[in-house]
Amino acid sequence: MHLNENDPRLQDYLDDRLSPSEIRAIEDHLAACPECQGLVHHAQQVDAEFASHFATITPSRDFTARLLQAANRVGAPTPATETQKQQLENEMRSTWNAENRNFFRSQLPAALDWLGYSTAAAVGFYLLSHFALGAFKAQLKTALSLPATTTLALAAAAAALFMLAGWAVASRHKVARWLSDFAP
């Protein structure tokens, strides 16, 4: 439970992103550990100092009024020419392509996690059906009438579907956002 600067729980604790049980565990430890108490206190000071410093950084009070006056001086926007449209589209497309790549790249760790879990599930199912249930092997084989490779293939297919469903549910907000942003 000892905390240090490299522990992600320290920052999560500062930001109140831990579960109630995790917070309790940390606070129980802090009650008994002066060293960690000192670290957390210092981290809270740094965090509060930064939050208060940046709270003073705002646009000036008359910013909006000056902006709208400038927009009046520019005049009402005219329909874009084909060249301007093409220029804007090219600029946006290169950014969208980069953000598309970022989106899929960001999903890769989650997808790999699910692939790992489902592979483990498929291997476990195979081992269970052929070793742990050895006593009932004869009856099972008769009842199912499936060769081992077919069993494994079915288990892998079920696990892959489960993986896809789990990823889609976990990422539904991102998928919805991606569809609204980039799908035609």
Partner 1 sequence: MDQAQQSAEDEIRKRLAAGDHRTAFERLVELFSTRVFHLAFSMMRNETQAEDLTQDILLRIWKGLPGYHGDASLSTWIYTIARNTCLTELKKRSARPTVSLHEPEFEEGMDRLSALQTSDPEAGAGMDVNLLLEQLPEKYRQVITLFYLEQKSYEEVGALLGLPLGTVKTFIFRARQQLLKLSRQRPSHSLVHST
Q: Which residues bind partner 1 (CB under 8 A)?
A: 5-6, 8, 11, 15, 42-43, 45-47, 49-54, 56-60, 63-64, 66-68, 70-71, 74, 76-80, 84-85, 88, 91-92, 95-96, 98-99, 102-103, 105-106, 109, 177, 180-182
The radius of gyration computed from the CA coordinates of the chain, to the nearest angstrom, equals 28
With respect to partner 1, which residue has the nearer C-beta, 162 or 166?
A: 166
CA distance 143 to 33: 61
- How far apart CA 80 and CA 13 sit, in angstroms, is 50
Q: Give the nearer residue to partner 1 in terms of CB position, either 102 or 150.
A: 102
- The SS3 call for residue 171 is coil
Q: Cβ of residue 54: shortest distance to partner 1, in angstroms?
A: 4
User: Minimal distance in Å, beta carbon 112 to partner 1?
Assistant: 12
Q: Whole-number minimum distance, CB 176 to partner 1, in Å?
A: 10
Helices 20-32 and 34-55: angle between axes, nearest 10 degrees: 120
> At its nearest, how many Å lie between partner 1 and the CB of residue 31?
22
Place of tokens 């009024």: 65
- Distance CA(148)–CA(154), nearest Å, equals 10
Using a 10 angstrom Cβ sphere, with 0-12 exposed, 13-18 middle and 19 or more buried, the burial of residue 175 is: middle
CB closer to partner 1, 67 vs 133: 67
Closer Cβ to partner 1, 46 or 164, answer by number: 46
By beta-carbon proximity to partner 1, the closer residue of 22 and 99 is 99
